[in-house]
């Protein structure tokens, strides 16, 4: 479950071809183990539907039993080949249609608030948290918090409140998640559907990667109390949303691939052996040039620690937008 203050979780990342999850670390309150403890965590295997790959962010200290998001080398290779193929197809389509590629993008956002009942503990968060989340996204993606400016801005289109105990908490990879999304998803490939609620397994959130064909599972799931002003200590400034949407726009974690290979496919994010938690200033886990990118939105540090995307990530997101999500 998402945000239980006594449940230690860690942000994990796994990503797979389609879904990304962000696990929420609940713990926080004083019980967070040192970051090094996490790298020693045993690898966990979990069966997941072949068509649903997730990338999860977990809370520091929490040990999620299900880490849907670790992308294997083969999965990354598959995704990169798909991107190349999508780019070729779109280039041909645009040439035929006389259309250009987009340089700036306003993303319509439909927010689904999943509630168990009408209480705050039952998921009934106020609209003010949602409007604050949109503000945080616009600051993060415009570079106003210190990173590179990206092409993206976000416009709240609708808040849809749904009371359904069968969908609460939202369980990653469950048939209930599929039922929820199939019933609720709105808009085209360019519409961001954000599902808010209590989450399973200490997760902070998860998201889908872009695909050529629109899929009802497309969207991001975020712990409602991770929104700005929420109760998820250390993860309540809205950067879970920022991180998950990064996946929705085709970004990998900064620690993808560890110290070797092409890593996260972005040249200006220094290689990182494993996720960073809390805010370990000066951490340097690979011999390659550069300290670990612990302030990057695509790592697993506290919200107070992360504040930037890089120019390379901005470019990767826009390329993927034009390949997959542009009309
Ligand atoms: Zn992630």
82: which DSSP letter?
A: H
Q: Which residue has the tokens 């780019």?
A: 87
- Residues around the ion ligand 1 (C-beta < 5 A): 13, 22, 55, 57
Exposure on the CB side of residue 155, measured as CA atoms within 13 A: 7
Among candidate residues 184, 202, 183, the one with its CA nearest the CA of residue 193 = 184
Overall pTM surpassing 0.85 (yes/no): no
Residue 291 Cα to ligand 1 middle (Å):
20
Task: Report, as an integer, the average pLDDT of 43-72.
Answer: 49
Residue 99 Cα to ligand 1 middle (Å):
33
pLDDT of residue 69: 59
Residue 317 Cα to ligand 1 middle (Å):
15
Residue 124 Cα to ligand 1 middle (Å):
25
Lowest mean per-residue pLDDT among 72-86, 195-209, 237-251:
72-86
pLDDT of residue 34: 31
Residues with a known catalytic role? 244
Parallel, antiparallel, or unpaired for β 203-208 and 56-58?
A: antiparallel
N- to C-terminal Cα separation, the chain:
36
Largest CA distance in the chain: 59
pLDDT of residue 37: 24
CB 141 within 8 A of CB 309: yes
CB 249 within 8 A of CB 321: yes
Residue 125 Cα to ligand 1 middle (Å):
23
Lowest mean per-residue pLDDT among 19-33, 193-207, 227-241:
19-33
Q: pLDDT tens digits for 86-139? A: 988 888 777 777 666 778 999 999 999 999 999 999 999 999 999 999 999 999
CB 229 within 8 A of CB 238: no
CB 294 within 8 A of CB 286: no
pLDDT of residue 7: 31
* Ranges of H-type helices in 207-310: 239-248
Residue 247 Cα to ligand 1 middle (Å):
7
Q: Examine the pLDDT at 203 and tell me if it is beyond 70.
A: yes
């Amino acid at each position: 479950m998402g945000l239980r203050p006594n449940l230690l979780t860690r942000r994990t990342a796994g990503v797979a071809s389609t879904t990304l999850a962000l696990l929420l670390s609940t713990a926080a309150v004083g019980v967070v183990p040192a970051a090094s403890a996490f790298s020693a965590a045993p690898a966990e295997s979990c069966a997941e539907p072949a068509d649903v790959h997730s990338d999860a962010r977990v809370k520091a200290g929490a040990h999620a039993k299900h880490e849907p998001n670790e992308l294997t080398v083969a999965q990354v290779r598959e995704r990169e080949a798909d991107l190349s193929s999508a780019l070729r197809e779109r280039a041909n389509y645009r040439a035929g249609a006389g259309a250009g590629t987009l340089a700036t993008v306003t993303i319509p956002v439909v927010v689904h608030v999943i509630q168990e009942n009408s209480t705050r503990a039952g998921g009934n968060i106020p609209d003010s948290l949602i409007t604050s989340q949109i503000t945080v996204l616009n600051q993060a993606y415009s570079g106003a918090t210190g990173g590179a400016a990206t092409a993206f801005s976000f416009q709240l289109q609708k808040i849809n409140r749904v009371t359904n105990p069968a969908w609460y908490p939202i369980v990653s990879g469950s048939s209930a998640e599929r039922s929820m999304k199939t019933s609720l998803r709105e808009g085209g490939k360019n519409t961001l559907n954000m599902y808010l609620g209590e989450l399973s397994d200490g997760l902070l959130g998860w998201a889908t990667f872009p695909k050529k064909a629109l899929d009802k599972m497309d969207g991001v799931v975020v712990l409602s109390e991770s929104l700005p002003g929420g109760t998820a200590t250390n993860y309540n400034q809205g950067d879970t949303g920022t991180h998950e949407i990064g996946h929705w726009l085709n970004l990998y974690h900064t620690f993808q691939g560890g110290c070797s290979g092409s890593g996260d496919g972005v040249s200006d994010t220094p290689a990182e052996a494993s996720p960073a938690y809390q805010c370990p200033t000066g951490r340097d886990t690979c011999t390659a040039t550069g300290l670990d990118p612990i302030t990057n939105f695509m790592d697993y540090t506290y919200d107070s620690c992360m504040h930037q995307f890089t120019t390379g990530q901005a470019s990767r997101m826009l390329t993927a937008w034009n390949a997959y999500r542009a009309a």
